[in-house]
Amino acid sequence: MKYLLILSCLLFTSVGWSQEYGEQQKFMFDLIRETIKKNKSAVNSASKTRNWIKVNKKLCEIGGIFDAYAHKKDWYGTVRKIEMNDDGTVYLEIGIRNGNSIGQHPIKESLVDTVLNISTKSMVKFSGYFYEGDMSQNECLDGGLTASPDILYEHFKFKFTDIALPEINRVGKYGEKEGLWVKYYKNGNVKYSWNYKDGKKEGETLIYYKNGQLEKKGNYKNDKKEGEWLNYYKDGQLQYKGNYKYGEYDGEWLNYYKNGQLEQIKIWKNGKFVKSIKP
């Protein structure tokens, strides 16, 4: 029996993603799209099947752009399903456009924690290998129990070597950084999140340790640090806090020991150190 894991979203899954498809993935998508277009004008089913046979042959060209069984690095897709068996092994399915998907059961143990911290419907970046299909049936990639040259709405067997949540990289009309930017650690935890306006940092910034604990919190104004900033130890204890004015230290900065006791107070004015006070 399998239990479908309804996983809560880590962060920002409703936000639009912007990523660059690699050459191999783009080649596969374009080839399928071109074949769909051809088959709309095909006069009979035999002609349609022949077009799909040609697709499989192109995908299976040794040393070609796609190079079917070579390592596929940094592909993108949307998580459709995450399931766990009673024995603790995990199944992962990812949609890769054109109704197609890839999946593996079980995924390797080193990827389990990462996968269990990703919500369904999230965009992910992954790498791995397609399994070999039966070319005697004109199926380049293993699409499961039934071999078929038609590679629409196929579920391909895939061996994942890496998986992660990709960065959110938004750009404006003229290529300037714009809106929310987020980067993740390989374990799925957020590394940082901040905002851009007209190519400059603006608003709240959050920076995290690899273990998920908040490291720094503060604000930017016109690409300069402004207002109160907080810095934490890895265990969550406050390390220091203070204010920025036009990107410079200003006013009191309080430093704390790991046990929470105040270590010292430093006084700054317009970026210049004034004095240090011991409690």
- Taken in order of first residue, the domains within the chain and their CATH numbers are 2-164 (2.40.50), 179-277 (2.20.110.10)
Where does the chain show beta strands of DSSP type E?
A: 2-4, 72-85, 90-95, 101-104, 123-130, 155-164, 179-184, 190-197, 200-201, 203-208, 214-221, 224-232, 238-245, 248-256, 262-269, 272-277
Mean pLDDT, all residues of the chain: 87
Q: What amino acid occupies position 139?
A: E
- The model's pTM is 0.59
Q: Give whole-number Cα distances, 137 to 28, 229, 250, in Å.
A: 19, 63, 72
- Which run of H or E residues covers position 51? helix 45-59
Of the candidates 161, 159, 151, the residue with the CA atom closest to the CA atom of residue 60: 151
Q: What is the tens place of the pLDDT at every residue in 122-181?
A: 778 899 999 999 999 999 999 877 778 999 889 999 999 999 877 766 667 677 888 888
pLDDT at residue 220 in the model: 97
pLDDT at residue 58 in the model: 94
Q: What is the tens place of the pLDDT at every residue in 77-109?
A: 889 999 999 999 999 999 998 889 999 999 999
Of residues 48 and 3, more confidence is placed in 48
Average pLDDT over residues 19-35: 84
- Tokens at 151, concatenated: 């590679």
Q: Give whole-number Cα distances, 154 to 18, 19, 101, 144, 227, in Å.
A: 25, 24, 6, 8, 53
The span from the CA of 167 to the CA of 182, in Å, is 5
Per-residue pLDDT band for 62 (boundaries 50, 70, 90) equals confident
Instruction: List the single range of 16-20, 122-126, 254-258 with lowest mean pLDDT.
Output: 16-20
Q: What is the tens place of the pLDDT at every residue in 46-60?
A: 999 999 999 999 999
